[in-house]
Amino acid sequence: MPGWTKTYVRWIEALNYRVGRFAMYLLYAMMAILLWSSVTKFIHIPALWTLEMAQFTLVAYYMLGAPYSLQLGTNVRMDLLYSRFSPKGQAIWDVFTIFALMFYLGVMLYGAVDSTAYAIEFNERNPTAWRPPLWPIKVIISVSFLLMLLQASVHLIRDIAVIRGEEI
Amino acid sequence: MDYNLIALLMFSTMLLMMLTGQRVFGAIGFVAVVAAMALWGPGGTDMGFSAVMKLMKWTPLLTLPMFVYMGYVMSESRLAEDLYRMFHVWFGPMPGGLAIGTILLMVMISVMNGLSVAGMAIGATIALPELLRRNYDKLMISGVIQAGSSLGILIPPSVVLVLFSLIARQPVSELWLAGAVPGLLMAVLFIAYITIRCRLNPALAPAMSAAERAQITWPEKLRLLRAGLLPIFIFAAMMVPFLNGWASLTEASVIGALSAVLAAVVKRRFTWAVFETATRNTLAITVMFMLIITAALSFGAVFDGLGAGRAIENFFLKDLGLGPWQILILMQLSFLVMGMFLDDTAMLVIVAPVYVSLARALGFDMIWYGVLYTITCQIAYLTPPFGYNLFLMKAMAPPEFTLPVIYRSVFPFVLVMVLTLILVMVFPQLALWLPQTVLGR
Amino acid sequence: QETIKWRMQTYAGPALAEHVVKPAIDAFNTIANGQMEIELFYADQLVPTSELFRAMQNGTIDAVQSDDDSMASPTEVTVFGGYFPLGLRYSLDVPALFNEWGLNEIWGEEYAKVGVKHISAGSWDPCHFAMKEPVNSLADLQGKRVFTFPTAGRFLAQFGVVPVTVPWEDVEVAMQTGELDGIAWSGITEDYTVGWSKVAPYFLTNNISGAWIGHFFANMERWDAVPPHLQELLKVCFEQSHYYRQHWYWAGEAKLRVEGTDMQLTTIPDAEWAQVEAAAATFWDEIAAESETKAKVVEIIKKYNDTMTKAGRPYRYG
Ligand code: NA
Ligand code: NA
């Protein structure tokens, strides 16, 4: 494989690893927010922002964690036939089917960017009393889809390498 | 294009895409966005993304990572070991005793987590080696662990019932309470099956030897009973504030997760490795679920918007010319068949909206239907060729548990589950009595 | 000639839509006789309500029934949609304001700017609190998590109310799971129709607005592509829908207060409620200060209310 592919793979995987490891700990942020919500309720001054903030955190948690989960290979496949192939067979097969995944991610990215642009242009706010602006979470979603797309391209390169019998 | 044709086309392409072995969320999402771009008309490209925003508003989904985390803290810190030892000592002397103990362990695990994956992990790491060491039949071992762990989604708390509550717009508290009695009934029926099988063929599950039995003293037996307090503590810490309205569902799930951590800390088992693995695996499982749900929501909305949802409703309600019960049975059967081949979570999100509105149109009780639905999901987890528990079993068990062994092992247990399903269908009070009594519905 | 097909999403769930929109759509489809067909979708069915406006602007959805506030439309008039605090007394105030006092023109212009056709405005019910626990004074509202409209929520926060927004369809469940203590969203007819009366046994007779303002909208391009006779038919059917709501809600509000068995009535005394009315006057001024268009609408609403007060009974009492 050309040298640049190796650099590309290394960089993207390192990036997604770090983003994913960061996202992983947002679980505890979610817990803290919801606990705080309980506390404020207990002292009869429920906070206005906790539920929405927890929702945003959940979205950031699983969206930013998604590229890392692709890396970990933890997204379930219906591998009745697939699992019977040799590694090379799987790679050949994946080179084709990964385009379906990339197409889906591409359309999602398009939708996310479109929606983010709208949120910024009109300063869109969540229709609630707290009225937080929506662009930050939409930017996070857009970035996540981009990172997933990049991670998928890494899988494609790795598959091609396997087919050519090379190491990456 | 004809609505029936669209329905058929979308479903068959989805099935085909899944067969390619590509990640399930990618397969479903791909069909959804392609169908939207080809058939929706202008603006169809946005249908994929809008599911992300829809999901964000589904507040109860905040419980998903919490219930998953609880399960991982429990399995990684081996909190269930004492619990298993308890059942071992008390039930070991009977033929099939350890298998019965495993089912009871699974019931305890089920009250502390919302999915079947924790039960599978605990079953594979704690129960399985012990059962093998005692020369239990492989089919029996594999079946007990898979069937037992599936109780995690029927006995509260249950993530599947949370999803159902979102789709059917029914209170999750009622659904959870409704799942409790059928869940326990199913456990009892599993035990009855194990007992009968082992009486007929004691070689399947050798009882503990007399010498070993003599070693276990009564004080130890009683001491081990204390292990049973753990699930009671965690369950109570979570459910009491929730059912009394002191904490909301999402807050209760955090209390549950933290109780599990507290228990592990008290037992000095909350190591860095436990923390790291539980945190990472929770992310992995949550991402897996959320991505599938997102794709399936897009699929469902596109399916609806193209008129295919209505085509299915018309097919069941008008074209078939059947009575409500016949339609209900047909729906359950078709769901069982689909559960064999398709991803269970995706099925829930895609098929449930259609079936729920059908069941409602037919005048059935939605809480009761939620329980039927969950049992069907449990069966889908276990029925070959595709099912979460089957995959998890293959991934977690030693190599001698080959796919054929795993496939064959679930057969009798699936029959017991179908029996439970029939019992709940014939006697709705099995599901409805508890919520009616507790919540006075 | 091929049938023109529209997808319309309402912000109401199926139970409520049975009254507030479905009869008009069924009537339209029957009369249009195959020339045009509207397929009706309920709250959050195709897109979440918060994305509804965007979806209509993009043409993902052809037409929408909603108030401005819930669907977060990016216009100057959004705050007036749903319930503008203490702005209206009776449901007939809405068609009067829109048809006779000039609001139709303002709405039409504002929506045209963002590529949307404002077809017509109609009125629904008054906005009352339906609560888990009885409310007899303003102090009883302190710390209560209440499902309400964004603008109403902004206004009510000063009385210690914690406004919570969940998808409309999840309200009943959220009441039961403890996410909510109450609902400030509708009159008693809707409470009974959608089943909220079962989870919120106390009905506060004071309302924060006497009538809801909601509309039918369409994507501008799609609207322009419809031939004039069908445009006219759409308008007529939607007017009919507004009319249906006028009598359906009006009849229900009185009947259910007297004959309903699920909900007990509670009241905050007029003298104390005057604080809320005073706060509303301040709130109006705050809104008016935000932009020229908003100032214009507030001005119209003020003038209208002055006229009603001067006219006396039966337009205004006390
Ligand atoms: Na459970
Ligand atoms: Na299956």
Residue B277 lies in a domain: no
Q: What percent of chain C has pLDDT over 90?
A: 82
pTM for the whole structure: 0.91
Measured in whole angstroms, the distance separating CA A19 from the mean position of its chain's CA atoms is: 9
Give yes or no: residues B226 and B117 share one domain.
Answer: yes
Residue with more model confidence, C150 or C240: C240
Q: What Rg value do the Cα atoms of chain A yield, rounded?
A: 20
Give yes or no: residues B290 and B386 share one domain.
Answer: no
Other CB atoms within a 10 A radius of the CB of residue C240 amount to: 14
Give yes or no: residues B326 and B427 share one domain.
Answer: yes
Measured in whole angstroms, the distance separating CA C68 from the mean position of its chain's CA atoms is: 8
Best of A114, A121, A128, A134 to disrupt the C interface (most C CBs within 10 Å) is A128
Counted residue by residue, chain A has a size of: 168
CB B345, CB B64: distance < 8 Å: no
CB contact under 8 A, A128 and C72: no
Residue C79 has a pLDDT of: 92
Give yes or no: residues B239 and B339 share one domain.
Answer: yes
pLDDT at A18 over 70: yes
Give yes or no: residues B111 and B101 share one domain.
Answer: yes
Residues of C at the B interface (Cβ-Cβ below 8 Å)? 7, 13, 39, 41, 44-48, 50-51, 54-55, 58-61, 166-167, 169-170, 172-174, 176-179
**Residues within 5 Å of ion ligand 1, judged at the Cβ atom:** B 110, 152, 155, 158
> What would the DSSP string read from start to end of B315-382?
IIIIIS---HHHHHHHHHHHHHHHHHHS-HHHHHHHHHHHHHHHHHHTT--HHHHHHHHHHHHHHHHH
- The 8-class DSSP code of residue B310 comes to H
Residue B317 lies in a domain: yes
Q: Provide the pLDDT confidence category of residue A168 given band limits of 50, 70 and 90.
A: confident
CA distance B157 to B253: 9
Taking chain B (441 residues) in consecutive chunks of 10 residues, what is each chunk's mean pLDDT? 85 88 92 94 91 90 90 86 83 85 91 85 86 89 94 92 87 90 97 92 81 80 82 86 80 92 92 95 92 92 88 81 88 87 80 86 92 93 84 84 90 96 96 86 51
B237 by DSSP, 3-state: which? helix
Tokens matching residue B45: 């490209």
Between B and C, how many residue pairs show a Cβ–Cβ distance under 8 A?
Answer: 84
CA distance B93 to B208: 5
Residue B338 has a pLDDT of: 85
**Strands C127-131, C182-186: parallel, antiparallel or unpaired by DSSP?**
antiparallel
Nearest to A62 among B27, B258, B287 (CB): B287
CB contact under 8 A, C46 and B43: no
What string of H, E and C letters represents the secondary structure of C23-53?
HHHHHHHHHHCCCEEEEEECCCCCCCHHHHH
Chains touching C, CB cut-off 8 Å, 3+ pairs: A, B
Give yes or no: residues B121 and B255 share one domain.
Answer: yes
- Name the minimum distance, in Å, from the CA of C179 to any CA of chain A: 9
Give yes or no: residues B115 and B29 share one domain.
Answer: no
Residue B440 has a pLDDT of: 65
Nearest residue to B95 via CA among B157, B140, B52, B159: B140
CB contact set of C96 (below 8 Å; sequence gap of 6+): C304
Residue B275 lies in a domain: no
A18-30 mean pLDDT? 98
Residue B84 lies in a domain: yes
> What would the DSSP string read from start to end of B172-212?
HHHHHHHHHHHHHHHHHHHHHHHHHHHHH-GGGSPPPPHHH
Nearest to C164 among A51, A115, A122 (CB): A51
- Domain count within chain B: 2
Please report where in the chains the tokens 């009537």 appear, as a residue. Answer: C27
Q: What angle do CA B214, B215, B221 make, to 5 degrees?
A: 95
Helix residue ranges, H only, chain C: 14-20, 22-32, 52-58, 93-100, 103-113, 150-156, 171-177, 188-194, 196-199, 220-225, 228-259, 270-288, 292-311
Give yes or no: residues B294 and B343 share one domain.
Answer: no
Domain residues for B315?
A: 58-270+306-439
CB contact under 8 A, A47 and C162: yes
Dihedrals phi, psi of C132, to nearest 5 degrees: -75, -35
Q: Provide the pLDDT confidence category of residue C318 given band limits of 50, 70 and 90.
A: low
Give yes or no: residues B50 and B157 share one domain.
Answer: no
Give yes or no: residues B51 and B152 share one domain.
Answer: no
CB B110, CB B160: distance < 8 Å: no
Best of B250, B341, B406 to disrupt the A interface (most A CBs within 10 Å) is B250
**What average pLDDT does chain C have?**
93
Residue B111 lies in a domain: yes
CA distance C134 to C265: 8
pLDDT digits (tens, 9 = 90+) for C188-209: 999 999 889 989 999 999 999 9
Which amino acid is residue C95, in one-letter code?
Answer: P
Which amino acid is residue C187, in one-letter code?
Answer: G
Give yes or no: residues B44 and B160 share one domain.
Answer: no
Nearest CA in chain A to B388: A76
Q: B338 C-alpha to center of ligand 2: Å?
A: 8
CB C246, CB C92: distance < 8 Å: yes
